[in-house]
Chain A
Amino acid sequence: MKKVSVSFTLNGYPVTAEVPVTWSLLKTLREDFELTGAKEGCGVGECGACTVIVDGDAVNSCLYPVFEAEGKSVMTIEGIAGEDGTLHPIQTAFLENNGVQCGYCTSGMIMSAKALLDQNPDPAENDIRTNIAGNFCRCTGYVQIVEAIEMAARKME
């Protein structure tokens, strides 16, 4: 299959991927870079388990052609903790407030929340719910996830 060479910034480091032209960003992250935090929950952009941040916006990486990432900055769940491993306040809040249960949706959920809080540090509950409307979760009923994002926003002030 025809391959494509794509250069972009991944979690702060410049990288180049040589992958089949049909690959999505998700497939490239998981297979080429072995960053398996983003998950394929549906493969058609409905569930949000594959959410990563591209140039500041949360995207469904399963629908995002990898060649579109050329020259852009991609951040995944593996890249949001501090260099010394200190968890990001959203990660901590999810652990403290039981925003994570089975954890499968968690990477995507946290990345959606991070994109939101980076753009809107003081979101209302409805902003949070709208923002994660595309991130499905079967375990939590979303209650403690929304609360965790609110907690994180307060901590990040």
Chain B
Amino acid sequence: MSDHLFVGKSIPRTIEADKVTGKAVYIDDMKRPGMLYGKILYSRYAHARIKSIDTSRAKKLAGVRAVLTGRDIPDARVGFLKDQTVLKKDVVRQFRDEVAAVAAISPEIAAEAVDLIEVEYEELPAVFDPFEAMKEEAPLVHEVDARGRPVKSNMLPLPWKFEAGDIEQGRKDSAFVVTDNVSTTWVNQCCMGTSGCIAEFDTSNNLTLYNQTNVIFGHIGRITEYFSQIGLKGKKIRVVNAIVGGSFGTKLDTDIYEFISIQLALKTRKPVKILFDREEEFQALPPRQPAVFTIEQGCDRDGRLTFRKCEAILDNGAYTSWGATTPSVMIMPMSSLYRVPNVFFKATCVYTNNIYCQAMRGYGNPQATFAVETSMDTLAEAAGIDPLEFRMINRNHPGDETPMRLKITSCGFEECINAVKEKLKWDEKKGKQKGRGLGMASLIHVAGGARVTRSDGHGMVVKVDEYGHVDVIESGTDQGQGSPTVITQIVAEALGVRPEDVFLTFGDTALALWDAGTHASRHTFMAGNAAVRACAKAKKQILDMAVEHMAKIIKGGFKRKKRKDPDFVEPDLDYGLIADPENLDIRDRMVFPKKDPDHPYFRIPVSQVLREGLLGSGESKVVVAEAFYDPPTEMLDREFKGNLSQTYAFGASGVEVEVDEKTGEVKILNLVAAHDVGKAMNPTLLLGQIYGAAYTGVGYGLTEEIKVVNGRVMNPSFRDYQMLTAMDVVPIEPVIVEPMDEDGPYGAKGVGEPGLVPTAPAIANAVYDAIGVRITDLPITPEKVLAALKEKG
């Protein structure tokens, strides 16, 4: 494997040079001829009846081209449970409810017009706590469901219940049992580029949506469904992505502002752009799903887990996006992080008049892992076993099948735990320092796709021209993770060209083959496998050409030589060496016989073969190949069991903290992030994923929180939100474990999300080691630390 020219090398991100020169075009920078600017009016109440809307003053403002309310557009329902309309006509259920929208010739005029819209509300009783919302007497957030049937409770009709083995038996087998209550809060994805899109209809009402989604075909599906409800059935929808200014889950669903831009474009017959400002991004963008867990675990005298039982309550907010589906991912760590034979997990999503939630890096895994890893520590303590040793006893092994029926193949879990032990000097320091402490936590995550839709496929087209330039039409999205470079490395390696010969086109549904979306840490694995397959086909086409033309090219060279030098004698060559494509290969732009790669005559530039083959007379030829890679995985069945990913990532984070008992401040002295990545395709880029995810995990653990008071976001700015800055120095020591995955492209597995998952629980466990109090409610703010210390006395 060591003879790879490009795979496994830290190739610079030269293919993305436009990002360092200001040339990269983000949605902010895109303009279309005649484009208008859309702006949304949001609710002033968390729950209210709309009595009247007066748009007359807004409509009269010079420069305004359209003002829409819920009465102006069809009542089509959208969203995962179809529990909302695009503009709210009768009732608002949260502060971010979209009540009206304006399109105008400038963003300033649009904003001014929105201020001129007068809405009269009648306030309704609201509920902001999921536990209150579950009570019988609680006000109903929705009085009817999507089909208009009366609703009796705020609890969503979602089936999140997982059972494997026998909990009671597990309890009987236990020598030690612990119960913990833990909770996590809302955090914002904080993409540096805010949400935005441009909707544009052609004369025949076909839509082009300029966007920044990571699921281009998911958008097509959702908008197609919307179109069928608003009289545009059968119209063509094309999604074209701009460069994406960060995603982290925010671009997984089709959000309400996108439907609004479509409605404004339809009304005005002009392209309409909606771009959120930062305050809007904090208030109107669905954040990470919060959750409250009660988790009970047991183990036997030897420290082997006997059962795990967990119930979770999720504040769903007023409507339903992907946040309500995070339990489907929580089931993975709940059932499969460590060997545990008996598992029960139940999650209840409850409507409230708070903001609603969606995906964020790791989906439900960081929340659930915080619960599991808090419990692992308390159980280890109850059993009198070192928490690292306790995890080692219960670690997953290659070849395991978990209670969820995940089939563990490559698994570098043991190496990751050992790395934490060694790098943190665990045995020397654990439990032995005053005011300082060590903690650890681990992770399992999908790393070979995730079959959450019937197809988990990924399509790619590879086209080679007569100069040896390779166009790759990629169906995934680069959100900053570095895919353009990694895919380029794989294509160059697999096809036998150089990275500078490869040109990528991302994110255009009119060109790309289908893809399930760039989510679930799947891009390198899926696009890599598609690339290897597409390139094998394209290479075969080139080698067929080589067989047809090489002898001619070589003999032509001899003829020219002879004309120049009459004494030249044509060598007697065995052309049988280049008569079979099976006997030829391409590497580093050269075609050559496999048996004799350095043959003095039979080693020629691939571009020569391509020019002869593609531009020659007679039948026209192309070198173009497609591949659609869909791994042999399973969708989860009704019991939420099945091998939904082709392989799984493992990792462990170890943290050393110092806690200031006077201020309550937690300082991270060292963060060891050990990750089983299969194979590091580009070590420098891989480190970027680990650092970035770990930092976001530190924010999740220590500082970040959307403060929602009575449904209203109280800190909608970077200053008040407390995302980490460059001054928050977190010394991170990454450890790369490479077990080589047999199904991964060149051995690689996904790594985009894992780094975030174990970070916060590792910090919480380290804080406990340092000061003897356990914070079970994220984030671990100085206020909480001081309060806990005070309570301890």
Contacts and interface: CB of A to CB of B under 8 A. Distances in A.
Interface in A87-109: 87, 91, 94-98, 100-107
Contact of A87 (B17, B25, B480): B17
Contacts of B29: 30, 36
Contacts of B719: 46
Interface stretch (A2-10, A53-61, A63-71, A137-145): A137-145
A47 interface: yes
Contact of A138 (B16, B190, B684, B729): B190
Nearest to A36: B29
B246 A104 contact: yes
Contacts of B718: 42, 46-47, 136
B726 A138 contact: no
Contacts of A137: 192, 726
B13 A98 contact: yes
A71 B277 CA distance: 31
A102 B726 contact: no
Given A103-B245, A129-B729, A44 B278 contact: yes
Given A35-B22, A42-B718, A95-B13, A102 B245 contact: yes
Contacts of A107: 20, 22
Interface residues of A, number: 52
A115 B182 CA distance: 46
Contacts of A102: 191-193, 243-247, 479-480
A25 B480 CA distance: 27
Interface in A123-145: 128-130, 132-145
Given A43-B278, A104-B26, A139-B480, A94 B21 contact: no
- Looking at chain B's contact residues, the main secondary structure is loop
Given A81-B21, A104-B245, A141 B192 contact: no
B556 interface: no
A91 B23 CA distance: 13
B277 A103 contact: no
Contacts of B278: 41-44, 46-47
A79 B663 CA distance: 46
B691 A95 contact: no
Contacts of B740: none
Q: How large is the interface on B (under 10, 10 to 19, 20 to 34, 35 or more residues)?
A: 35 or more
A153 interface: no
B205 interface: no
Given A44-B278, A104-B192, A104-B245, A140 B12 contact: no
Nearest to A76: B22
B20 A94 contact: yes
B163 interface: no
Contacts of A133: 725-727
Contacts of B13: 95-96, 98, 100
A81 B13 CA distance: 17
B692 interface: yes
A91 B12 CA distance: 12
A143 B732 contact: yes
A141 B24 contact: no
A138 B482 contact: no
A19 interface: no
Given A101-B688, A129-B727, A138-B696, A39 B20 contact: no
Nearest to A78: B22
Interface string B691-718: 1111110000000000000000000011
Given A96-B12, A102-B193, A104-B192, A138 B246 contact: yes
Contacts of A39: 26, 28, 192-193, 245
B62 to A, nearest CB: 12
Nearest to A125: B729
A91 B20 CA distance: 6
Contacts of A74: none
Given A43-B278, A95-B14, A140-B688, A146 B726 contact: yes
B124 interface: no
A150 interface: no
Interface string B89-121: 000000000000000000000000000000000
A138 B723 contact: yes
B688 A139 contact: yes
A130 B278 CA distance: 24
A94 to B, nearest CB: 5
A44 B717 contact: yes
A41 B192 contact: yes
Contacts of A146: 726
B19 interface: yes
A104 B365 CA distance: 27
B248 interface: yes
Interface string B667-701: 00000000000000000110110011111100000
Nearest to A98: B688
Contacts of B156: none
A144 B480 CA distance: 14
B325 to A, nearest CB: 23
Interface string A2-40: 000000000000000000000000000010000111111
A128 to B, nearest CB: 8
A60 to B, nearest CB: 12
Contact of B727 (A37, A87, A130): A130
Interface in B526-582: none
B481 interface: yes
Contact of B19 (A30, A41, A106, A132): A106
Contacts of A91: 17, 20-21
B195 to A, nearest CB: 13
A119 to B, nearest CB: 18
Contacts of B692: 101, 138-141
B730 interface: yes
Contact of A103 (B24, B694, B725, B729): B24
A87 B21 contact: yes
A36 B194 CA distance: 15
A43 B25 CA distance: 19
A49 B695 CA distance: 19
B691 A143 contact: yes
B233 to A, nearest CB: 36
B730 A37 contact: no
A115 B479 CA distance: 28
Given A98-B685, A101-B688, A104-B245, A87 B22 contact: no
B24 to A, nearest CB: 6
Contact of B20 (A42, A76, A106, A129): A106
Nearest to A138: B190
The listed residue with most B CB atoms (<10 A of its CB), out of A107, A110, A143, is: A143
Given A97-B684, A101-B481, A102-B245, A132 B726 contact: yes
Interface of A: 30, 35-44, 46-47, 49, 76-78, 81, 87, 91, 94-98, 100-107, 110, 128-130, 132-146
The 10 closest A-B pairs by CB, nearest first: A37-B22, A102-B480, A141-B695, A103-B19, A104-B245, A101-B480, A77-B22, A141-B691, A36-B29, A104-B192
Given A39-B28, A138-B192, A141-B694, 17 more contacts: A37-B23, A41-B193, A41-B194, A43-B277, A43-B278, A47-B192, A47-B718, A76-B22, A78-B21, A95-B12, A102-B480, A103-B20, A104-B246, A128-B726, A133-B727, A136-B190, A136-B192
10 contacts: A37-B22, A39-B26, A43-B278, A47-B718, A101-B480, A102-B191, A102-B243, A139-B480, A141-B694, A144-B684
